[in-house]
Every structure is written in structure tokens, then in C-alpha cells.
Amino acid sequence: MKIAFFSSKSYDQEYFTSSNEAYGHELNFFEARLNKYTARLATDHDAWIWLPYTGF
């Protein structure tokens, strides 16, 4: 499965990459926020995940 992550930070990438080792999905991380201009980056992906900044 090919998955796009939006608004990702380095700690998100580390966590999801490590967690994915057992599954072997193709993960693509984008620092850009998901919006009408960046949505095209998810083309050809099976799923997308938006990681909202919580301010912590």
C-alpha cells in the first residue's frame, strides 16, 4: 500500500517508518499541509494521512 503523509515532522517520519517495518508499506512524507494545491501529491497513493499540528 502506498501512503502519503501531510504536515509531517521528522518525529512523525521516525515513528511511522519504524512502525511500518513489519508491514512494508510505501510511505511518502510531505511537510506541506494538505490543501487544494498540495492534494495532487496524493495522486497514485492508496491512502493519505493528515497530521495536524497540535501546538504541543
Band of the pLDDT at 38, cuts 50, 70, 90? very high
What's the average model confidence in pLDDT over 29-50? 95
Per cent of the chain over pLDDT 70 is 95
Asked if 26 contacts 3 with a C-beta cutoff of 8 angstroms, the reply is: yes
Cα 17 from Cα 29, distance rounded (Å): 10
Asked if 33 contacts 8 with a C-beta cutoff of 8 angstroms, the reply is: no
Amino acid at 10: S
- Sketch the domain layout of the chain as residue ranges: 2-50
Band of the pLDDT at 52, cuts 50, 70, 90? confident
Topology of the domain comprising 2-50: Rossmann fold (3.40.50)
